[in-house]
Amino acid sequence: MRKILVTSALPYANGSIHLGHLVEYIQTDIWVRFQKMQGNIAYYICADDTHGTPIMLMAEQENISPEELVEKIHKEHSKDFEDFCVNFDNFYSTNSSENKELSEEVYRALVKNNKIFEKEIEQYYDPDKKMFLPDRFIKGECPKCKTKDQYGDSCESCGSTYNPTDLINPYSVLTGAPPVKKKTRHYFFKLSECSDFLSKWTKSGTLQKEASNKLEEWFKAGLSDWDISRDAPYFGFEIPDAPGKFFYVWLDAPIGYMASFKNFAKINKLSFNDFWKKNSEAELVHFIGKDILYFHALFWPATLEYSGYRKPTKIYAHGFLTVNGEKMSKSRGTFITARSYLDHIKNPNFLRYYYASKLNESMEDIDLNLQDFSAKVNSDLVGKFINIPSRTSGFISKYFENKLVPLKSIEDKKARELILGIINMKDVVLDHYELRMFSKLIKLLMGQVEALNEFVSQKEPWVLAKNKDQHKINSELHQICSTCLNAFRLISIYLTPVIPELSSKIALFFNESPYESFSNIETEAVLITNYVHLLQRLDLNDIEEMVNSNK
């Protein structure tokens, strides 16, 4: 039995969860549910990322304290995740006593290991707002590829990272004023001294090959020391023995993984050290977007290594979400919030299924084509999958008191082969889940659903039910419909991590508790309830209204 601590990147507490965010949380949730159904100990840990100037300024605009703002956003995020069946074991906040304590401890360990130094730098200052500007509040041309309107820390076009002072024609996002350079003293982490360690670690199999290749480009360019401090005014944790200086959000945010688990461990009487000590036997798995690979695959492991903690076992990076082949856009209504989706489409199973049908183990971007989304969920889930009990369960209720024929009593060779084939694909299904090859998994299972529908069409139970030969009604009809329903149940168990809410309804239909283990494959249902509609078709009008409401 494996012990796995799994995280998703922390959502920033200055806005709503949108469909782009949900790619990661749904992907992670599917993988964690799979691990739990395998019988492994898996904890899914996350938190709101709550520090930084954007939070401070947003709270100022709303005339509330930053603490009140992050609490309000936390409630909103928690509800969105819950309604999309994203089942965190702990969803916490980086603005916590645990995170403050751990951030200070990590920092002091880095100081002790001679990995922190102080130097005077020039930083951009907004003369109108009278404050130093954080990276994301300065825009200009990328110094590498010359793309306009790029942020002060990294380019969305070419992926380069740089200092804000490297930007061409910079301007303040807050006031539009050209910022002025002003001297200040900052604290730096000696990332340049970690090149040898990181070069070996990033080739250790922890990263996808694409990610490892991307990092190689950064090693060739040379690693820069990392500015880990920010000047007041700033919402965050003050650096010990450095009045007016605060930890940069990217120092305490990943430590938020540790803090959230520490909070969870305390409540559930678990050992924090069992998961975070240097020689821990537990696995630590991070799911992230490819845009934050630099922070998670360079800064984070180096911070852990030189502060006495264990490093990640795996870092799985995914691509971005496009909608209708383009970047999400507020003007086109395709920058869709989680809540807007739920208000209009309501069913989270649809999006979870569609994302799973697109996701694989690579860092490729995925596209949410809204026409294809509607066609696919209506065809696969309603027209094919739910069509099976819809076509067959009525006969079991009408003629056989809702009782199913056990597999050992099925005489039809084709029927037995159909069910045994689904049972015997268990190892392949589990491998696809483990390797995050969800699109292959969906294709495999939908192939079985199509074969099952073909079997129903060939056997024509509706014709058998009208046959005057009572034996055919009593025996053949019973066996055919039982075969279809038992096969449908097996596929439902396999799909449980992807569509947990729908799977729970299916379990109730079979008079069973929600499926929590793949060992349910080895058992058979004996009784069904009277069939009620399990899923309604997705209406294109609802999609249109959702898009219009987001414009």
Cα separation of 470 and 304, whole Å? Answer: 73
**Phi then psi dihedrals of residue 42, to 5 deg:** -135, 125
Which amino acid is it at 518?
F
Q: Which pLDDT score is estimated for 466?
A: 85
Question: Strand pairing partners for 43?
Answer: 5
Q: Do residues 19 and 339 touch, judged by C-beta distance below 8 A? A: no
Instruction: List Cβ neighbours of 65 (8 Å cut-off, separation of 6 or more).
Output: 59
**What number is the average pLDDT over the span 383-398?**
96
Do residues 527 and 499 touch, judged by C-beta distance below 8 A? no
pLDDT at 474 over 80: no
H-type alpha helices, 380-535: 387-400, 413-424, 426-434, 438-459, 461-464, 470-471, 478-495, 500-509
pLDDT more than 90, % of the chain? 91
Residue 201 has pLDDT above 90, yes or no: yes
Place of tokens 């690693």: 223
Helical pair 19-37 and 426-434, crossing angle rounded to 10 deg: 130
- pLDDT tens digits along 205-259: 999 999 999 999 899 989 999 999 999 999 999 999 999 999 999 999 999 999 9
| Mean pLDDT (whole number) for 348-352 | 98
- Single out the residue of 32, 42, 38 nearest to residue 81, CA to CA: 32
Average pLDDT over residues 442-462: 96
- Residue 344 corresponds to which tokens in the numbers above? 């209009």
Enumerate residues 6+ apart whose C-beta is below 8 A from 15. Answer: 73
d(CA 399, CA 412): 20
State whether residue 355 is helix, strand or coil: helix
> Which residue is it, tokens 């049908």?
357
| Neighbour order of strands in the sheet with 283-289 | 90-93, 41-48, 3-8, 283-289, 314-318
Of 227, 247, 216, 232, nearest to 163 by C-alpha is: 227
What does the pLDDT look like over 484-535, one tens digit per residue?
999 999 999 999 999 999 999 999 999 999 999 999 999 999 999 999 999 9
The per-residue pLDDT for range 301-325, each reduced to its tens digit, is 999 999 999 999 999 999 999 999 9
Domains and CATH numbers, the chain: 3-115+190-318 (3.40.50.620), 386-522 (1.10.730.10)
Question: Can you tell me the distance from the alpha carbon of 333 to that of 545, in angstroms, rounded to the nearest whole number?
Answer: 10
pLDDT of residue 522: 93
CA distance 200 to 198: 5
| DSSP state string for 272-299 | HHHHHSTT--SEEEEEEEGGGHHIIIII
For strands 366-368 and 321-323, give the pairing: parallel
What kind and span of H or E run contains 132?
Answer: strand 131-132
d(CA 160, CA 168) in angstroms, rounded, equals: 14
Strand partners, 246: 230, 238
Q: Out of 178-192, 237-251, 272-286, 466-480, which region has the weakest mean confidence (pLDDT)? A: 466-480
Answer whether residue 378 shows pLDDT above 80: yes
* 233 φ, ψ (degrees, to nearest 5): -80, 140
State the pLDDT at residue 475: 87
Of 211, 231, 208, 230, the closest CA to residue 219 belongs to: 211
How wide is the angle at C-alpha 418 spanned by C-alphas 416 and 422, nearest 5°?
115
CA angle, residues 502, 503, 505, in degrees to nearest 5 = 65
Residue 472 pLDDT: 60
pLDDT in the model for residue 471: 62
pTM value is 0.94
SS3 97: helix
pLDDT score of 510: 97
Share the mean pLDDT of the chain. Answer: 95
- Nearest residue to 312 (alpha-carbon basis) of 430, 182, 198, 230: 198
Bridge partners of 326, per DSSP, are 323
Q: Is 422 exposed, middle or buried (0-12, 13-18, 19+ CB in 10 A)?
A: buried
pLDDT value of residue 465: 87
Please report, to the nearest 10 degrees, the dihedral formed by the alpha carbons of residues 285, 286, 290, 295 taken in order: -120
What pLDDT is stored for residue 250 in this prediction?
A: 93
Question: Mean of the pLDDT values across residues 404-408?
Answer: 93
Question: Which residue type is seen at 362?
Answer: S
HEC profile of 438-449:
HHHHHHHHHHHH
* CB neighbour class for 233 (10 Å; exposed up to 12, middle 13-18, buried from 19): middle
